[in-house]
Amino acid sequence: MGKVNSLFQDAQEAREDAQADAQMVYAIADAPHGDFDNYDTLNKLFHALSPHGWQNSSWKNDTCPSLLKEERHGNYCQIFVDYADPAMREDPEWPVLSYDCYDAEGMKTFHEEFDNVDKLIIYLTKRVY
């Protein structure tokens, strides 16, 4: 019986450690885009969505930072957070937030544009932050 209690306690501690790790959210302080001017929006999204599996996926060859969430069967969704100043965007007409989903082959299956970070967070989580 002592061994069963010990195993139960180990499992309980592992679960508590995993929950604590899942709640640790860090800010994105450095994107590979040297002149990026929209960290407030990027971090608001990151803090709201990282508990739901979203991760920083910013890459130097993209035009702006992004967050990515892997879905089932190789599918994934990505949010691009563009520059706050439209003049700094690749195309000044592009929205500040672009939400796209792709299938396992990389084909875009969904696209939506947002001009407000709170609307995107509510859309993805159905919760107000």
Domain-embedded: residue 93: yes
CB 110 within 8 A of CB 101: yes
| Cα distance between residue 113 and residue 100, in whole Å | 9
**Per the structure block, which two tokens stand in for 123?**
């859309």
Domain-embedded: residue 95: yes
| Cα distance between residue 89 and residue 14, in whole Å | 45
Domain-embedded: residue 1: no
Domain-embedded: residue 20: no
Residue 65's domain spans which residues? 27-125
pLDDT digits (tens, 9 = 90+) for 30-80: 777 778 999 999 999 999 999 999 999 998 888 899 999 999 899 999 999
**pTM as predicted:** 0.75
State the virtual CA torsion across 51, 69, 88, 31 in degrees, nearest 10: 70
The count of domains in the chain is 1
Domain-embedded: residue 74: yes
Domain-embedded: residue 2: no
